């Protein structure tokens, strides 16, 4: 490694505080990542590891230099940063955000729990037919990340909702359940019985795992994945990979470390 390079590296390490605790951060890391690296928990809703951040729910606000910023996207950029994750301003902002969300999803356990923590009650001025969806868009981002992009957030303002094209069963949906899996409020419902799965008003036939017979994937999913799909359920897939690795010829020369 050249000297210049390591110098650059050195400059990329920043020192500051979170809630008064001295913290070392990588330049450009989000405040959320940095806080989590030292075990400080910040509540999040629209953020989810593995999905591109969107910063739409505003629950993860923190205070820095007297301003509120969203920790899931705000990067740590300078030495001497000072961040507060539980200041009165922060708590008030989260309480407000949660009071709005209670109108959208008054029964969702995740929202109720947070509302309890922050003493939030629903604000009746903004109450409109609750449907258990907080419009965080995690489902849409998951679907997009899978390259199916079968659903979208459609419309504006109060009318905005997650939907397939023309409010009909989405033609591009392969029944993978990713949307239901990432939804923080449990709004996306699906059912499985008799080897069939229903989601988004569409029915899919489940294909039994060729090894153990557990039905996990839909026909459409396997077709969509093409050659990449073995059709094995995750468990059998892991077992097969493990045995392949065990029997593999060791790589000549190099060490096995990363």
Partner 1 sequence: MPKTNPGAPEAVDLTGLRGLLESRPPEARELLPLLRDIQTRYRHLPEEAVRGLSEYLGLPLARVYAVSRFYKSLSRVPKGERLVKVCLGTACHLRGAPALLEALEGKLGLALGETGKDGRFTLESVNCVGACALAPVVMLDDEVHGKLNDESLADLPL
Name the residues that contact ligand SF4, by CB under 6 A.
133-139, 162, 182-185, 187-188
Find out whether 143 and 149 touch, Cβ atoms under 8 Å: yes
Q: Which residues sit opposite 161 in a β-bridge?
A: 154
Q: Which does 10 bind (CB under 5 to 8 A by kind): ligand SF4, ligand FES, partner 1, none?
A: none
Asked if residue 198 binds ligand FES (CB under 6 A), the reply is no
Beta carbon nearer to partner 1, 64 or 187: 187
Find the binding residues for partner 1 in span 159-188 (CB under 8 A): 159, 164-166, 170-172
Candidate list 44, 64, 99, 148; residue touching ligand FES; CB under 6 A: 44
Find out whether 32 and 72 touch, Cβ atoms under 8 Å: yes
Using CB atoms within 10 Å of the CB of residue 193, give its burial: 0 to 12 exposed, 13 to 18 middle, 19+ buried: exposed
Beta carbon nearer to ligand SF4, 58 or 135: 135
Closest C-alpha to 110, from 185, 180, 179, 187: 185
3-state secondary structure of 23: strand
Q: Which does 60 bind (CB under 5 to 8 A by kind): ligand FES, partner 1, ligand SF4, none?
A: ligand FES
Candidate list 27, 58, 95, 135; residue touching ligand FES; CB under 6 A: 58
**Chain mean position to CA 153:** 16
Map residues 114-143 to x or -, x wherever contact with partner 1 holds by CB under 8 A: -----------------------------x
What DSSP string runs through 185-220? T--S-EEEETTEEEETTEEEEEEEPTTT--EEEEHH
Candidate list 14, 18, 25, 46; residue touching ligand FES; CB under 6 A: 46
């Amino acid at each position: 490694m050249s000297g210049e390079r390591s110098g650059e590296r050195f400059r990329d390490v920043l020192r500051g505080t979170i809630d008064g605790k001295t913290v070392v951060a990588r330049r450009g890391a989000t405040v959320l990542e940095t806080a989590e690296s030292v075990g400080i928990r910040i509540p999040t809703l629209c953020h989810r590891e593995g999905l591109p951040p969107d910063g739409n729910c505003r629950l993860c606000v923190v205070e820095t230099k007297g301003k509120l910023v969203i920790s899931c996207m705000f990067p740590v950029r300078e030495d001497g940063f000072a961040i507060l994750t539980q200041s009165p301003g922060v708590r008030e902002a989260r309480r407000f955000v949660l009071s709005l969300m209670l109108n959208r999803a008054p029964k969702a356990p995740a929202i109720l729990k947070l509302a309890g923590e922050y003493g939030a009650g629903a604000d009746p001025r903004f109450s409109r037919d609750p449907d258990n969806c907080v419009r965080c868009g995690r489902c849409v981002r998951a679907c997009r990340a899978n390259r199916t992009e079968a659903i979208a957030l459609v419309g504006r303002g109060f009318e905005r909702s997650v939907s397939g094209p023309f409010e009909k069963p989405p033609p591009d949906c392969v029944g993978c359940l990713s949307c239901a899996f990432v939804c923080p409020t449990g709004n996306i419902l699906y059912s499985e019985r008799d080897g069939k799965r229903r989601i988004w008003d569409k029915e899919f036939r489940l294909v039994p795992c060729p090894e153990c017979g557990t039905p996990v994937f839909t026909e459409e999913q396997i077709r969509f994945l093409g050659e990449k799909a073995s059709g094995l359920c995750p468990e059998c897939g892991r077992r097969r990979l493990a045995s392949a690795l065990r029997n593999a010829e060791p790589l000549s020369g190099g060490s096995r470390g990363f």
